[in-house]
Amino acid sequence: MRYIIAFDVGTTAVKAVCIDRETGKLTTGKADCELYIPQLNYAEQDPQQLWDAVCTACRECVAKAQIDLAQIGGVVICAPWKNIIPLDADGNVLHRSMIWMDARAIPQAAKLNKSMQTDGFTGQDYFARLLWLKETYPDIWNKAAHIVGLNCYFKYRATGNFYTECGEDFIHTPNPTVQAHYDNIMRHCGFTEEDLAKFPPSLPSTAVMGHVTDEAAAQLGLIPGLPVVGGFGDLNAITFGCGCIEDNMAHIYLGTSGWLCETKNERVPGYGRGHFTLDEKHENTLFGIQTGGRAYDWLINQFYLGERKELGDAVFEFVNQEIATVAPGCNGLIATHWLGGELPPLAAKNAKALFFNITDQHERKHFARAMLESICFTHRLSLGYYIAAHGGRKPDSIRVVGGGAMSEAWMQMMADILQIPVRVPANPRFVGTMGAYYCAMIGLGLARDYADAIASQSLGEETVYTPNPDNFAVYDKNFSIYSKLYRTLKPLYDEINGVY
């Protein structure tokens, strides 16, 4: 087998990538996805439309690659986690997918917090959203034979089989401590054995979950019978693609959302804003941010719409050149990227974005740079928790990946604000794809484990951005102010938006 097809499904676009195992060449196809926000705190997508995008991207990919389809060895899929999709017994979608950023389940979160004597649940929490579905649409809940995530849904469409994997399974887990935690939440949700039977069983992410059916092959532009390796959620794919496969290894991801993530052998109580299961042996500590690249994309649509219509995606390089001319600290302008609120402990869902300290000396390029600086400031907050957990020791450097890592201006900004070297791999936009590829190599018997899969690839040279001490003082000052903004403005956010 010479080729592997990997699907990297994001929040706003699907990439299908044909990976040539002999040359390392990546050939891509892409299709956009529609995001539905029918009201405040809602975020939905149409699973059928997403599957159509997967098929469109795949057909474009193999057509561009001009390959012999018989030389494709298998397919692997990674997709955003914590989607909730109810399906009937025939696999028909009963409700649009509530995606990871949906935060409608505020009453259910409050109920769980009261019942479990905690404050850890928000309206965005997976379990709160499950409870919202059961309480708000009992007819849909009762009719649902399967409740699946997005990765599982795609595998079902490709193979006809219902299997998930441990990183996307919040009902069953190989970790006894985490299983006890899940069982406790299920009890407080009041879920019965009949309810829990709706959730698919798990197989290891590297297992072959089935084979491409005749119907799916016709839709994808592939041949029937190809093995489909389980794959995982996007967080897992990016972590593996970064090579963060050992305890204490960390990375930053810059996409529609973003995070600082550290691989751990076990979950550490009280450390991190969230956790996810990486594989059967590792847990990951997550410092997530709600709106990273999405806030920057919003800014470009508001401030650079004419250039975006004229230049298309090349508008980002145009803006990068503009912000490179702005002095660090943006002449005292500070932004927050909290378009849809932010995750605690930084802020709360009722906090929204703002620009602070605007003067008549500020141009649009200052607003653009300030938005990027704000995202870096949030990651600096997260890095502070990492440093505290490691006895005050800073990491020697940190790897930064995702589409945002393509910007040289942003990466120098990140290094200066974090005050540690930033390392960007040769293809930062494709780390999720490479993580899925490594998974497929193991599942198809081409590698023993992730270390073996990574070692077998020539990944190209990384770029290292060294911090500039001349910029530390202005960033320290702005970071200090940024860190106080939510606490200072909380009474006003509560007054204008309500408390939730």
Q: What is the pLDDT of residues 293-317, one digit of tens each?
A: 889 999 999 999 999 999 998 999 9
Structure token pair of residue 1: 């087998």
pLDDT band at 340; cut points 50, 70, 90: confident
Residue 37: how many other CB atoms lie within 10 Å: 12
> What was the pLDDT predicted at 45?
97
- Provide the pLDDT for residue 345: 63
Sheet holding 250-254, edge to edge: 274-277, 283-289, 258-264, 250-254, 398-401, 422-424, 463-465
What are the tens digits of pLDDT across the range 163-206? 999 989 999 998 898 999 999 999 999 999 999 999 999 999 99
pLDDT tens digits, one per residue of 232-258:
998 999 999 998 888 889 999 998 889
Beta-bridge mates of residue 146: 87
pTM for the predicted model, two decimal places: 0.88
In this predicted model, what pLDDT tens digit does every residue of 421-453 receive, in sequence order? 999 998 898 899 999 999 999 999 999 999 999
Structure token digits, residue 189: 């949700």
Percent of the chain at pLDDT exceeding 70: 99
**Which pLDDT belongs to residue 145?**
98
If you average pLDDT over every residue of the chain, what do you get? Answer: 94
Ordered by where they begin, the domains of the chain are 3-236 (3.30.420.40), 293-389+468-497 (3.30.420.40)
| Amino acid in the structure at residue 94 | L
Give the helix ranges, DSSP H, for 190-245. Answer: 193-196, 214-220, 234-242
Q: How confident is the model at residue 349 (pLDDT cuts 50, 70, 90)?
A: confident
344: pLDDT confidence band, cut at 50, 70 and 90? low
- Token representation of residue 392: 């005050």
Give the per-residue pLDDT at 311.
96
Cα-Cα-Cα-Cα dihedral sign, residues 296, 302, 306, 309 = positive
| Confidence band of 490 (pLDDT split at 50, 70, 90) | very high
pLDDT band at 272 (very low <50, low <70, confident <90, very high): confident
pLDDT surpasses 90 at 405: yes
Give just the sign of the alpha carbon dihedral 392, 348, 14, 318. negative
